[in-house]
Structures are given as structure tokens and as C-alpha cells.
């Protein structure tokens, strides 16, 4: 699974941290972001509202289903 954050526009590889289509209000991504509401979804994954745990900054995080990407 790949995760892209609007905060830094980087991409981080996250192995088996979250299933591609499930999260809870208490899910924490990479120890830094608390995932909240789903903002949208598309053919490759879903976008969630998240809060950076150290700065309290709100960001959007896209969770991409790696099975949908052709390499």
C-alpha cells in the first residue's frame, strides 16, 4: 500500500498498516497521523481527513490500493 500526504506531497510505503478499504476513528498512520473521516474515494483508493499528532495540522491522506497499480 502506498500513502501520499498533501502536507509534503511525498509518498511513503506502508506495509499492511491499514487494509485498503477500512479504517477506524482511532487509526494512526506511521505513528504521526490520526485518520478521521473518509473524504472521498475513486478507482485507486480512498482519501481521509487526518491530523498530524505533533502539530495538530489537518491534512488529507490518500490510501492507494497497490493491487490497482500496474507496474
- Beta-carbon neighbour count of residue 45 at 10 Å? 21
- Binding-site residue set: 62
Q: What is the DSSP letter of 68?
A: G
- Binding-site residue set for ATP: 62
CB-based burial label for 1 (10 Å; 0-12, 13-18, 19+): middle
Amino acid at each position: 500500500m502506498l500513502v501520499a500526504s498533501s502536507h509534503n506531497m511525498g509518498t511513503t510505503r506502508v506495509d499492511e498498516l491499514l487494509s485498503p478499504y477500512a479504517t477506524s476513528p482511532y487509526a494512526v498512520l506511521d505513528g504521526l497521523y490520526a485518520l478521521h473521516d473518509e473524504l472521498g474515494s475513486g478507482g485507486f483508493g480512498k482519501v481521509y481527513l487526518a491530523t498530524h499528532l505533533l502539530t495538530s495540522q489537518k491534512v488529507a491522506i490518500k490510501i492507494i490500493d497497490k493491487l490497482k497499480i500496474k507496474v
